[in-house]
């Protein structure tokens, strides 16, 4: 292991410690594939949270812990969230299958 005192003092001489090989992975940042990949990941997480919020809302309604006004407000909020998720799916050319994760033996997420 290299000790801190053995490290070169400037960036130029540090380059000799990093020699590229044929197996180095190059990542290109920018462009549509990266944007769509990030959008797909973000929307998958948003959809998962939305589904969990719906389940929690149903549990609270069944338990009777919400007033009529809260149920109405919650329903409107969940509908607006779903509309925004659908809009973003259109913007990034994604469908429900794109947002569904395969969890192996556990099956599909949605």
Q: Please, what is the average pLDDT of the chain?
A: 78
pTM value is: 0.64
pLDDT in tens, 32-81: 666 778 999 999 999 999 999 999 999 999 999 999 999 999 999 999 99
Task: Spell out the domain ranges in the chain.
Answer: 30-106
DSSP summary character for residue 22: T
C-alpha span between 65 and 85 (Å, rounded)? 28
Residues of the chain above pLDDT 70, percent? 68
C-alpha span between 60 and 52 (Å, rounded)? 12
């Amino acid at each position: 292991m290299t000790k801190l005192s053995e490290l070169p003092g400037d960036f130029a001489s540090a380059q000799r410690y990093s020699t590229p090989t044929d197996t180095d992975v190059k990542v290109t940042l920018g462009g549509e594939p990266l944007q769509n990949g990030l959008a797909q990941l973000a929307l998958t997480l948003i959809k998962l949270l939305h589904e969990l919020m719906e389940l929690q809302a149903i549990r609270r309604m069944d338990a009777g812990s919400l007033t009529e006004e809260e149920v109405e407000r919650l329903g409107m909020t969940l509908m607006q969230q779903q509309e925004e998720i659908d809009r973003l799916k259109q913007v990034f050319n994604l469908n429900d299958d794109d947002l569904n994760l395969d969890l192996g033996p556990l099956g599909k997420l949605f």
